[in-house]
Structure 1
Amino acid sequence: MRIISLNANGIRAAARKGFFDWLPTQNADFVCIQETKAQLPQLLDRAFFPAGYHCFYHDAQKKGYSGVALYSRVQPDQVTYGLGWDEFDCEGRWLRADFGNLSVISLYLPSGTSKDERQQFKVRCMDHFKPMLAELAGDGRDYVICGDWNIAHKEIDLKNWKANQKNSGFLPEERAWLDEVFGPVGMVDAFRVVDPNPDRYTWWSNRGRAWDKNVGWRIDYHVVSQGLKDRVRGAEIYVEGRFSDHAPLILDYAD
């Protein structure tokens, strides 16, 4: 089972950069996309509905902003758009598809870098998610929550960690929250199950030749329930091409 996650930073821009030409070469079972920045009526080209996939979009109410998508080879038993929390759902940040005992989720947690108001919203999301994740971790289903979590967990997960300790995305309270998620809450950072190496990033600033110098952050995750931990077989961050300021995060799981 192969699952790809990508923050596209605009799905139409990613399409122009070749994402939908590359995707068929990957033979993915599920594809989770964040930051589509489009409304469904704007996606008239068939490229946005790849052959062989059932395709679902959850748009933000604000045009050109946020939004998530999920593609699946298999018809889901059920698709859930949002969490029933208006403040979060109006930004199109959660899309869940259920397949038997497996749930695949495309998630886009907010960034707090633009202003304090957004950081406070991010904190509210973290507070909302922690008990919810604990409930998911204990309900007996298998979960893969793919997406841009906008937090680098440990020093190994960003190049300039010393300079970023007071910046959103690497604040002590954000990192402590992930300690809880990957600790007592019971979820697993699937990438780190198979790849303990440094300099493995999924996002690079567009400033200062960060991509060329590999000055990046690992803020995109596959967060899985314990039942999937031993089924992780491989992980790849695709950097041979560039469709966005993020890279596709590809994980393979035993069926």
Structure 2
Amino acid sequence: MKLVSWNVNGLRACVNKGFTEYFAQTDADIFCVQETKLQEGQITLEIGEEYSQYWNYAIKKGYSGTAVFTKIKPISVRYGIEEDQEPEGRILTLEFEAFYLITVYTPNAKRDLSRLDYRLVWEDRFRAYLQQLDAIKPVIVCGDLNVAHQEIDLKNAKSNKGNSGFTTEEREKMTQLLDSGFLDSFRHFYPDRTDAFTWWSNMPKVRERNVGWRIDYFLCSARLAPSLTDAQIDAHVTGSDHCPVVLLMKDEAGL
């Protein structure tokens, strides 16, 4: 079973930069996207009739938004945390027979950290939500979590300490989440791999020199570890300032 997650930084723009070609080539069972930046009716995505499409749009036009395209019909779909309608369209939860799948676009603390307090409260709500689901069946979380957890997860750790996405507070929230029964699938397979990044600034030559951050993840309930077979970063794929991340699982772990 193959699951893919990609912050496309505007799906309409990404479609013009190779999204549909990558989508077809990767042939995922479940494909999640974040930061779609569109409203209902603004795109007709030709991805094949075998995929069901689920969208959570932000109220604000051209902002945020998530979507999931799946070959396997979910038992249920939830938009937002619990029954809340998230106005920024940041969360989609699909329930399958063997697990819950959540795709998420975590709020950015902003460069001046003006949204850090909001972010930290949001993190606590989100962790509680995942724990609630995990008490029922295993959970897989994917998306742009907007944090580089450890120094190994970004190129210039020393100069970025305290910056948005690498504050002590944001990193501690990720630690709390992992300590509550989840694992970072990439680090599960590659605990010491360096220069493995999923986001690069649009500044000139930054991506070419691989001066990046790893802020896109597949997190899983720890008890799913025996079912995982690999976690990959498709850093060669352009079309966004983020690249896709991939989780591979044994078929019998699925649906």
The amino acid that maps onto 1:219 is I
User: Which residue pairs with 1:172 in the alignment?
Assistant: 168
Cα offsets for 1:133-192 (capped at 9, x unmatched): 33333x141211110000100010000000111101111111111111111x11111111
Mapped pair 1:24 → 2:24? yes
Hey, what does 1:67 align to over in structure 2?
Answer: 65
Q: 33-42 or 232-241: which moved more?
A: 232-241
TM-score (norm. length: structure 2) = 0.93
Output the CA distance in 2 between the equivalents of 1:9 and 1:201: 16
Distance in 2, matches of 1:140 and 1:27, equals 29
Q: Which runs of 5+ in 2 are unaligned?
A: none
Taking the TM superposition and a 5 Å limit, the aligned residue runs for 1:82-121 are 82-84=80-82, 89-121=86-118
Q: What's 1:219 paired with?
A: 215
Distance across 2 between alignment mates of 1:136 and 1:85? 13
In structure 2, what residue type is equivalent to 1:42? Q
What per-residue deviation string (whole Å, max 9, x for no partner) do you get for residues 188-236 of structure 1?
1111111221110000000142101100000001111122122211122
| Residue 195 (structure 1) aligned with residue 193 (structure 2) | no
Identity %: 38
CA contact (8 A) 1:194 1:232 kept: no
Helix, strand or coil at the partner of 2:208: helix
Render the CA deviation track for 1:37-87: whole Å, top value 9, x for unaligned.
Answer: 0002101x342x54420011100000000000001101111111111575x
Contact 1:113–1:167 (Cα < 8 Å) also in 2: no
Aligned length: 250
Would the aligned equivalents of 2:146 and 2:216 in 1 still touch at CA under 8 Å?
yes
- Give the SS at the match of 2:115: helix
Counterpart CA distance in 1 for 2:194 and 2:174 is 18
* 1:55 maps to 2:50: no
Q: What is the aligned partner in structure 1 of residue 250 from structure 2?
A: 254
Q: Is contact 2:197-2:235 (8 Å) kept?
A: no
The alpha-carbon distance between structure 1 residues 53 and 198, as it changes in their structure 2 partners (threshold 3 A), is same
Give the equivalent residue in structure 1 for 2:229.
233
CA contact (8 A) 1:6 1:248 kept: yes
Contact map agreement 2:100 2:133 (CA 8 A) in 1? no
Output the CA distance in 2 between the equivalents of 1:89 and 1:117.
Answer: 20
CA distance in 1, matches of 2:78, 2:131: 19
What is the distance in 1 between the residues matched to 2:57 and 2:20?
Answer: 19
**Aligned counterparts of 2:48 and 2:205: Cα–Cα separation in 1:** 33
The match for 1:146 among 142, 160, 163 is 142
Residue 181 of structure 2 corresponds to which residue in structure 1? 186
Asked if structure 2 preserves the Cα contact closer than 8 Å seen for 1:190 and 1:223, the reply is: yes
**Structure 1: 5+ residue runs without aligned partners?**
none
Whole-Å Cα distance in 1 between the matches of residues 159 and 3 of structure 2?
33
Q: Is the 8 A contact 1:39 1:63 kept in 2?
A: yes
- Partner residue, 2:239: 243
In structure 2, the residue matched to 1:79 is: 77
